[in-house]
Structure 1
């Protein structure tokens, strides 16, 4: 009888050979420089997983090839896998703290991970090794700005320029920080509506003073209007408090003692950022004339590249039912959020933005058949200190006291804002 052990022996030998061959195939034996170049090409062509596999494979044989490990960590940062990146950067710096490129990449990883205070501490350590190094000072300023301390960031950037006034990157950052430090603004806006028939031209003017704080912005406004051969004024305050990351609010209160404006107006809206560059909001506006009108509104916004789309409906309940109006807006940004061209199209009339005196006794005003098209152009000058804007608006609106008949309304709006510290 053949021994059971003798029968199992060939099987065990085959298994051992296969395991040995498999292990040999997974052990890196190529040219690390050539493989590194291949991995870089993969990473820059949106094939990062393949690149990371290749880089990790090289490191099995060359664990101290720091350029490869640094690039591997950087790809983890690009993928928002900040912990993995941190581990690889630390592995390098524990062995060689003289690698400035690794310090900078590791600090950026902490900034992108929304850990600016950790980034600042790391920068302080690196600057002990590379005193007054401009590249390290630059990333330190970035981290300081991310802690909502633009003044500290400005001071750090200025230290770079004290040594090298021609540093273009630092000069551009200084301009950007200067704009951020201008937390106060004074603005003027004027517009005129010209009617094809029935009404004389109507004028609207706004003087405003605003301040940006760490809790949000506050804007005080004096609105002036001349309509129906009468002059009127309204005092208004807008608040945009920050609640938490990705969540903020809008609060409004206005007071007047003229029929050209509601006696009291107030409103609130909550804005929430969503994945895929979306933003939603929900709120209300209340207007008090001789009686009260409530308007419910919200918006859906979408940022895509340098473009922004938003859709905002208005719902106004009344004795005759709920009326609806809506507006679609588009913005194309250029260098920053204050340089853009805008287009909007709306249908229906909302009492919030209706240029007439609105009273709930005039419910038919809400249901007017109206189409409106608007184009605007906004730009800044003098290192973003001055912001200018112009809008042209055309509306085809039903006459409230003559249903079925329409007039055209041509509107021109000009604005100017001066920012200061």
Structure 2
């Protein structure tokens, strides 16, 4: 037994002598600048973990190489690890508060981490070291906007522009803030439908006033309709109340004493944002003529880069069966949500988008066959104060009183809106 124990002890001692660093952290040994450059290449090529391992290794020997620690913190920010980034920035600021680029990275970390109040405090400290610096002031304005103080943010941006009127980033931000502060709007929308057969041209016009509030937006509308050589008015209100972050509602009420519109229309819908840039909704619309029709609807939307896809079905139960229709829409955004090219395709007839008096015609109306394509273009003035839109649609629709036969409908839609404080 004793010789065997001796052999084991000899083996253990030999192992420890041969591998003295086993179980200990290995120190970095190399050129920190070249290793830093390699780590940057890894980080920008989405090999973030390898980059962070390299940066941490360098810091074991060069803990005061602040540019490396700052870049490590920035990679944490990119990964959404804002607390880890904050810790690294705090380590730097214990020894160095004179590096502007590190201040900028640290403030951005707070903004990206949805911590605008600490970001605002940091801009105050940074400006003590770099008075009137435009980049720090720009970050200050971003923090002010994110703390629900767009007026203060606008004042800060204006201060930048007073020093340098040609600052493009500040000018663009000023336009964006003015848009946010323009909480009122007045708009006009006009549609003309031209029929290939049967009907004379039909007109639809809307005058609307909108107001943005902290609880959501409200839009009051007066709709004018000329059909069948008759005129009619409808009064409508749309509400978009905010419920919580990523969760809001749509509520609509409309009244009319003209047969061209429902006597009463109302509807509601709930919208919820989901991960991966998806949004879903579920709701209904009710139209009350001499009888009442309820349409159930909803939507699935997906934002992908500057593109948006959506699908909306309409389901209309009735005494003669259930009617279904649907629309697929696509938008390609340009500079913002008010500037885009849109395309939609629709199949089936829905009383929501084609308001007819049902009465005795319910069976023939809800089962109408219809196909529609719509192309739209929306754009704004350079200061975002004016917004225009134009749409052209072609519909192939079954004739109500002559099943099996179709006509073509050519629709032109023009809109204009002005926003003001």
Query: Normalised by the size of structure 1, how large is the TM-score?
Result: 0.96
The whole-number CA distance in structure 2 between the counterparts of 1:145 and 1:24 is 48
Q: CA deviation at 1:22?
A: 4.4
Match of 1:74 in 2: 74
Tell me the C-alpha RMSD between the 2 structures.
Answer: 1.6
Match of 1:255 in 2: 255
The whole-number CA distance in structure 2 between the counterparts of 1:213 and 1:250 is 15
**Contiguous gaps of at least 5 residues in structure 1:** none
Residues 388 and 244 from structure 1, CA distance in 2 versus in 1: closer, same or farther, beyond 3 angstroms?
same
Q: CA deviation at 1:275?
A: 0.8
Q: CA deviation at 1:21?
A: 4.5
Q: CA deviation at 1:164?
A: 2.2
The whole-number CA distance in structure 2 between the counterparts of 1:37 and 1:17 is 36
Match of 1:296 in 2: 296
Q: Is the 8 A contact 1:36 1:55 kept in 2?
A: yes
Q: Is the 8 A contact 2:262 2:355 kept in 1?
A: no
Question: What is the CA deviation profile of residues 1-55 of structure 1, one whole-angstrom value per residue up to 9, with x for unaligned ones?
Answer: 8556633332222331354254789321010000000000111111111111110
Match of 1:390 in 2: 390
Q: CA deviation at 1:167?
A: 2.1
Segment of structure 1 superposing worse, 103-112 or 121-130: 121-130
The whole-number CA distance in structure 2 between the counterparts of 1:198 and 1:321 is 27
Match of 2:311 in 1: 311
Query: Normalised by the size of structure 2, how large is the TM-score?
Result: 0.96
Match of 1:341 in 2: 341
Question: What is the CA deviation profile of residues 38-87 of structure 1, one whole-angstrom value per residue up to 9, with x for unaligned ones?
Answer: 00011111111111111011111111110000000000000111111111
Aligned pairs (5 A) from 1:368-407: 368-407=368-407
Task: Number of aligned residue pairs: give it.
Answer: 421
Match of 2:129 in 1: 129
Match of 1:271 in 2: 271
Match of 2:32 in 1: 32
Question: What is the CA deviation profile of residues 190-240 of structure 1, one whole-angstrom value per residue up to 9, with x for unaligned ones?
Answer: 011111111111000000011112211111100000011111001101111
Q: CA deviation at 1:128?
A: 2.4
The whole-number CA distance in structure 2 between the counterparts of 1:68 and 1:292 is 69
Residues 92 and 25 from structure 1, CA distance in 2 versus in 1: closer, same or farther, beyond 3 angstroms?
closer
Segments of 4+ moved more than 3 angstroms: 1-6, 21-25, 355-361
Q: Is the 8 A contact 1:296 1:315 kept in 2?
A: yes
Match of 2:225 in 1: 225
Q: Is the 8 A contact 2:261 2:356 kept in 1?
A: no
Segment of structure 1 superposing worse, 126-135 or 200-209: 126-135
Residues 18 and 297 from structure 1, CA distance in 2 versus in 1: closer, same or farther, beyond 3 angstroms?
farther
